[in-house]
């Protein structure tokens, strides 16, 4: 009987945090890939342009720029263009002769954040994946954007852009 009473008394305290984890948007202050407009607004709040668009599969995409380079935030794990689970910051650089794969391998070997690769024409790309399941605080998102812009700047220098 005591166990049943203790469980009944504890349920309201346990339900609150669980419900808070499933809500996003301005009311909670939390961000996730399930709310592309919220991420675009947060990016603008950090002083970046943020144009919300749609990719060729119907999923959201945010187009932006930093340090003289355009980049996109792609949304993944979406269902019919909604309820996405993760994002990817991505930038590509159109070079006349491509970049030597050894340069990209060195980047991947020596750099913690941002993976690099060459596309089919040899042009370099850099990406940073972010899982938003469980939500992001505005501070975490701002920190992630800061990491991304540093990656973008360092990568441009690394490839001689």
State yes or no: pLDDT of 2 exceeds 90. no
The CA distance from 143 to 127, in Å, is: 16
Token couple for 100: 């030597």
Nearest CA-CA partner of 34 in 143, 131, 148, 146: 131
pLDDT for 25: 56
| CA angle at 114 for the pair 63 and 57, rounded to the nearest 5° | 40
pLDDT for 26: 54
Nearest CA-CA partner of 113 in 151, 139, 61: 151
Residue appearing with tokens 């342009």: 49
pLDDT digits (tens, 9 = 90+) for 62-108: 999 999 999 999 999 999 999 999 999 999 999 999 999 999 999 99
Other beta carbons less than 10 A from residue 65's beta carbon: 15
Token couple for 95: 């070079």
Across 133-141, average pLDDT: 96
What's the whole-model pTM score? 0.83
Domains annotated on the chain, with CATH: 32-158 (3.30.1460.10)
Using CB atoms within 10 Å of the CB of residue 6, give its burial: 0 to 12 exposed, 13 to 18 middle, 19+ buried: exposed
The CA distance from 20 to 156, in Å, is: 40
């Amino acid at each position: 009987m005591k166990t049943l009473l203790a469980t009944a008394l504890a349920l309201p305290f346990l339900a609150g945090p669980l419900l808070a984890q499933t809500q996003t948007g301005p009311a909670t202050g939390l961000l996730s890939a399930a709310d592309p407009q919220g991420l675009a607004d947060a990016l603008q709040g950090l002083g970046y342009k943020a144009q919300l668009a749609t990719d060729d599969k119907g999923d959201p995409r945010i187009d932006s720029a930093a340090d003289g380079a355009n980049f996109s935030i792609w949304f993944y794990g979406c269902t019919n263009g909604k309820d996405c689970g993760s994002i990817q910051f991505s930038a590509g650089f159109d070079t006349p002769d491509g970049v030597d794969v050894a340069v990209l391998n060195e980047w991947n070997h020596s750099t913690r954040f941002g993976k690099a690769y060459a596309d089919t024409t040899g042009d370099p790309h850099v990406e940073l994946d972010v899982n938003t399941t469980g939500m992001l605080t505005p501070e975490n998102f701002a920190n992630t954007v800061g990491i991304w812009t540093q990656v973008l700047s360092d990568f441009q220098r690394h490839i001689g852009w």
